[in-house]
Amino acid sequence: MSSLPINPPPRLLMGPGPINADPRVLRAMSAQLIGQYDPAMTDYMTETQALYRQVWATTNEATLLVDGTSRAGIEAAIVSLVKPGDRVLVPVFGRFGHLLVEIAERAGADVHTIETEWGQVFPVSVIANAIARVKPRLLAVVYGDTATTMNQPLDELGEICARHGALFYTDATASLGGNDFAMDAWGLDAATAGLQKCLSGPSGSAPISLSERAVAVIRGRTKVEAGIALETDEASPDVIRSNYFDLGQILDYWGPRRLNHHTEATSMLYGARECARIILAEGRQAVIDRHALAGLAMLAGVQGLGLQVFGDVTHKMNNVVAVEIPAGIDGDRARAALLADFGVEIGTSFGPLAGRVWRIGTMGYNARKDAVLTTLAALENVLRRGGVRAGTSGAGVDAALEVYEG
């Protein structure tokens, strides 16, 4: 058994995430700890909230972090908003829609789904009709499903939900920071994410934002923990079925009452704060534009290599593309060669797409020209050595460079 210090091999992570962290994020995380009620710490928490309000494009006071990976944020949102028996509608267009179903079912919800083929998104009218039919307490929809690379348009759904008295939640893990997102303008009540995609950080902290309407629902389910409750603290009969994911308690920890819940994951908070800070320093729209450009270049590049793109490209996320694995190539062997010989990682997918597509990401710190070109050059060589001739030599790199050159 090894007992050497951590010393990971150098990798260029061009899969569907995690991707390489921005070095500034790792430097922030290497800062020494401070106490959870140190004024410097509570200031960092407050600053982090303000920074993420800009990232989410919201004025929601209730903008904070859940201490866990992106699905911790999802579960916190769903279990805090949904009581057992509440109807939840989930439009499923990929693996992460199934995940929302699974989490809502375990929260005791009465879950209704509509499904579309992987690689497609829903027309707004289909979701609108389902809302009218199901009359859900909550519409839970993935924004970008990395399993299929599709981004479901959300901009018209908030108004429809409001009209039908439904709360509107989205999981924006895979898209936040690299694609348009407008929490308030789209009428969202809850949204969650992770750091390991377009935010350029490590997995382990889940940014979340909640509208006043969502907060009111959660406040109606309040319970202060025994051991720290005052006599004036009364518990609701609809107590949330999780302590760790009780957003009411987490809000009391982040809010002026500063009631201890967990011990904030300080290093992850440092990292999450830095992720937001560097995005805003570059400019929120500039970062989205950088993702759009890198995504276009990678798309042109894989097409230049003669690869078939999977799914409805008009709804593709900026930050990831799926390509059909060419006939005659063992997809996993090719990925292993890319990793071993070039240090470049790309991904496959899940369920019906496992072994059928490769997913190639251009996200966060790696939404860069050099990362795109290096990946295409390496991939061309792996394809060539696997017996697939990709048209003219260098056609992938050339096509991507053309996008960059205008």
By CB under 8 A, the residues from 264 to 323 that bind its own copies are 264-268, 270-271, 273-274, 277, 280-281
In 135-262, alpha helices (H): 157-163, 212-219, 247-254
Q: Which stretch binds its own copies (CB under 8 A): 20-28, 302-310, 316-324, 376-384?
A: 20-28
Residue listed under structure tokens 């006939």? 327
Contact with its own copies (CB under 8 A) among 287, 300, 339, 400 = 339
Return the residues of window 143-162 that contact its own copies according to CB under 8 A: 147
**Residue 33 or 216 having the CB closest to its own copies:** 33
Identity of the residue numbered 227: G
Candidate segments 67-75, 311-319, 373-381, 393-401, binder of its own copies by CB under 8 A: 67-75
Q: CB neighbours of 98 closer than 8 A, spacing ≥ 6?
A: 92
Q: What is the closest distance, in whole angstroms, from the C-beta atom of residue 200 to its own copies in the complex? A: 10
CB proximity list for 307: less than 8 A, separation 6 or greater: 323, 324, 326, 390
**Residue 243 binds its own copies, judged by CB under 8 A:** yes
Of the residues 17, 91, 331, 396, which one makes contact with its own copies according to CB under 8 A? 17
| Part of the chain binding its own copies (CB under 8 A), chosen from 254-262, 284-292, 316-324, 394-402 | 254-262
From its phi and psi, is residue 338 left (phi > 0), alpha (psi between -120 and 50) or beta? Answer: alpha
- In Å, the largest CA–CA distance within the chain is 77
Least Cβ distance, residue 159 to its own copies (angstroms): 29
Residues 6+ apart with CB under 8 A from 290: 282, 367
Given 13, 81, 128, 198, the residue binding its own copies (CB under 8 A): 13
Tokens encoding 221:
């389910």
How is the chain split among helix, strand and coil, in percent rounded to 5? Answer: 40, 15, 45
Q: Is 68 in the site for its own copies (CB under 8 A)?
A: yes
- Whether 327 and 320 have beta carbons less than 8 Å apart is answered as no
Give the C-alpha distances (Å, rounded to integers) separating 147 from 131, 296, 310, 311.
25, 19, 11, 11
Scan for tokens 């090894």, then name that residue: 2
Find the shortest distance in angstroms from Cβ 182 to its own copies.
Answer: 20
Q: Which CB atom, from 204 or from 301, has the smaller least distance to its own copies?
A: 204
Q: Cβ of residue 92: shortest distance to its own copies, in angstroms?
A: 9
273 belongs to an annotated ligand binding site? no
Site for its own copies in 83-142 (CB under 8 A): 94-99, 101-103, 106-108
337 interacts with its own copies by CB under 8 A: no
Binding mask 160-199 for its own copies (x = CB under 8 A): ----------------------------------x-x---
Token digits for 370? 């050099």
Residues annotated in a binding site for substrate? 359
